[in-house]
Amino acid sequence: MSLVPGAVNFRDIGGLPAGGSRTRSGVLYRSGNLAGVDEVGGVAFRELGVRRVIDLRSDDEVAHAPSRVGDVETLRVPLFLGSVTSFFVEDISLAQMYRALLERSGDRLVTAIRGILGAEPVVIHCTVGKDRTGITVALALAAAGVDEDAVVADYALTEQNLPAWRGDRMLARIREAYPDAKHLEELATKSPAPVMRDVLAQVRAEHGSAGDYLREHGMTDDELAQLRRTLIEA
């Protein structure tokens, strides 16, 4: 169930285990786009006290589905370096998409995660809240010290939260445009736990840790310490 009516998959990442502690509630939210937020949803959004929205969508996506949450600071960090449709054209898998994000958008991922600091409560979103949001939130949580099983479970929860009618409608529309695509359903509607577990294993193998990955792309030790203080209960 979404915390904000009209926003798909809007949820709090509070309460996740992190060693002997857990993530704070009311600090970081994740969501799909905010274009469908109605009057009731707007009230719910304002009651959360969100101070900053981090929008990971491209210019085209924003123009097609502008946010409807009123006057709130928005940090635009488009993560895909090409169009969203290019992934359907190339017919890549989720694992390939995530590798591309890690390899091509490290500095932007740092910018997005840095945006969490000093303006909480914050909401991070893309179009569905699955892939770009999933990678960004997973890196932030892992770097802050959240248990890996909890990071993976938080990512996998998105698939359960996406309304079936929405997935069916989206798949029908995309299949019409790309009838031969093999990875279409996975790209559009799935968030399988093994894929995120493999992403985290890849980050460890190639960089040492999520924190090390963020350091390599410009995040400082002080910022990583602040991230932990922000997200994790003392």
When the pLDDT of each residue in the chain is averaged and rounded to a whole number, the result is: 92
**Taking the mean position of all CA atoms in its chain, how far away is CA 83?**
17
Question: Taking 90 as the threshold, does the pLDDT of residue 182 lie above it?
Answer: no
The answer for residues whose C-beta is within 8 angstroms of residue 1's C-beta and 6 or more apart is 161
User: Quick one: pLDDT band at residue 166, thresholds 50, 70, 90?
Assistant: low
User: Which whole-number Å values give the CA distances from 197 to 9, 95, 124, 142, 143, in the listed order?
Assistant: 21, 10, 21, 11, 15
Domain boundaries, the chain: 11-226
State which fold the 11-226 domain adopts. Answer: Protein-Tyrosine Phosphatase; Chain A (3.90.190)
Q: Which pLDDT tens digit goes with each residue over 78-127?
A: 997 655 666 666 778 999 999 999 999 999 999 999 999 999 999 999 99
